[in-house]
Amino acid sequence: MKKLPLILSIIALAGVIALAIVDLTKGSTKKAEPVVTGDAAALQGEIVYFNMDRVLQEYDLANDLRSVVETKVNSINQEVTRRQNKLQKDANSFSDKMNKGLMTQSTAQVQYQKLQEQEANFNNYAQQKQQEIMEEQQVMLNQISDAIKSFVDQYNEQMGYAMIIATQGDILPMPVVTASADRDITDALIEGLNAAYVKEKGKKE
């Protein structure tokens, strides 16, 4: 009887973490009070932009929730790995007994079918956990997008810009490839977002 095939590459759940860019804490989507800087008021009615990459990296709330998601993913990975190792151990034991002739053909057939069921159950479990992580990430991205959008909307109610554009990338940032430095409101947004986050945390504590 040929060795039990174990298709266990599904364990690449850890890679999912890399997709987890940022998350928001529970109840963090409340509208925040914008912090307005005096210099930016001179641009009223103009088009301005902010660097989304920097906002995602320096927004304290985003960093805190990324840690929450990573903790969840690590916990899931540990359990998946434990089950994978158990299945592999059982498969190795089966193969060793078969090679040494320590089982009858009928017993081997029963054991082989049992291992196949275990493998199928494991694969289903791993897929389920991968889906769970993907859902966590999607909720995370929805939360961060909603929080930033809500803040920027309120911020602009005070500032009165004609348009606020989000740009990303270092070598050739898009959609804003280049612009005057006074049109960059990234620092003001990060300051406002973090101030609002500290205020919300204070209310909960």
Tens-digit pLDDT profile for residues 192-205: 999 998 988 877 76
Distance CA(28)–CA(16), nearest Å, equals 23
Q: Does CATH number 3.10.440.10 belong to domain 29-204?
A: no
Which pLDDT belongs to residue 205? 66
Beta-bridge partner residues of 184: 49
Please answer whether residues 192 and 32 qualify as being in contact, where contact means their C-beta atoms are separated by less than 8 angstroms: yes
- Per-residue DSSP letter, 15: G
Residue 167 DSSP SS3:
strand
- Mean pLDDT score across all residues of the chain: 81
User: What's the CA angle centered on 46, arms 184 and 147, to 5 degrees?
Assistant: 60
Give how far Cα 169 sits from Cα of 16, 89, 175, 185, Å: 21, 46, 9, 16
Q: What is the pTM of this model?
A: 0.68
Tell me which of 20-24, 28-32, 140-144, 156-160 is least confident: 20-24
Tokens 């101030």 correspond to 195
The one-letter code for the residue type at 194 is N
- Per-residue DSSP letter, 11: G
pLDDT above 50: residue 10: no
Tens-digit pLDDT profile for residues 98-133: 898 898 889 989 999 999 999 999 999 999 999 999
Domain locations along the chain: 29-204
Tell me which of 40-49, 112-121, 134-143 is least confident: 40-49
